[in-house]
Amino acid sequence: MGKKGKALAKERREKRLQEISELRKVAYAPSERWWSSETVAAVTGSNRGIGYEIARQLAVHGLHVIVTSRDSKHGREVVGSLREEGLSVDYCQLDVLNEVSIQTFARWISEKYGGLDILVNNAGVNFNTGSDNSVEYAERVINTNYFGVKRMIEAVIPIMRPSIYGARILNVSSRLGRANGRRNRVDDMTLREQLLRDECLSEELIDGMVLKFLDQVKNGTWVSNGWPQMFTDYSVSKLAVNAYTRLMAKRLSTRPDGEKVYINCFCPGWVKTAMTGWQGNVSAEEGADTGVWVVLKSGLADTGKFFAERREISF
C-alpha span between 243 and 185 (Å, rounded) = 14
Q: What is the pLDDT of residue 298?
A: 83
Q: What is the pLDDT of residue 137?
A: 98
- Contact status, residue 140 vs residue 125, Cβ threshold 8 Å: yes
Q: Concatenated DSSP letters for the chain?
A: --HHHHHHHHHHHHHHHHHHHHHTTSPPPGGG----TT-EEEETT-SSHHHHHHHHHHHHTT-EEEEEES-HHHHHHHHHHHHHTT--EEEEE--TT-HHHHHHHHHHHHHHHSSBSEEEE--------TT----TTHHHHHIIIIIHHHHHHHHHGGGBPP-TT-EEEEEE--GGG-TT-SSS--S-HHHHHHHH-GGG--HHHHHHHHHHHHHHHHHT-GGGGT--SSSHHHHHHHHHHHHHHHHHHHHHTTSPTTS-EEEEEE---SB-SGGGTT--SB-HHHHHHHHHHHHH--SS---S-EEETTEEE--
The pLDDT profile of the chain, 315 residues, written as one tens digit per residue, is 677 877 887 888 889 888 999 998 898 999 999 999 999 999 999 999 999 999 999 999 999 999 999 999 999 999 999 999 999 999 999 999 999 999 999 999 999 999 999 999 999 999 998 889 999 999 999 999 999 999 999 999 999 999 999 999 999 999 999 998 888 899 999 999 999 999 999 999 999 999 999 999 999 999 999 999 999 999 999 999 999 999 999 999 999 999 999 999 999 998 888 777 777 778 999 999 999 999 999 876 789 999 999 999 999
C-alpha span between 296 and 72 (Å, rounded) = 28
Q: What is the pLDDT of residue 300?
A: 63
Question: What pTM value is reported for the model?
Answer: 0.95
- Contact status, residue 119 vs residue 169, Cβ threshold 8 Å: yes
Q: What is the pLDDT of residue 13?
A: 82
The active-site residue out of 52, 91, 146, 234 is 234
Catalytic, 234? Answer: yes
Q: What is the pLDDT of residue 1?
A: 62
Q: Which residue type sits at 68?
A: T
Its sign, for the CA torsion 281, 282, 287, 293, is negative
pLDDT tens for 69-108 read 999 999 999 999 999 999 999 999 999 999 999 999 999 9
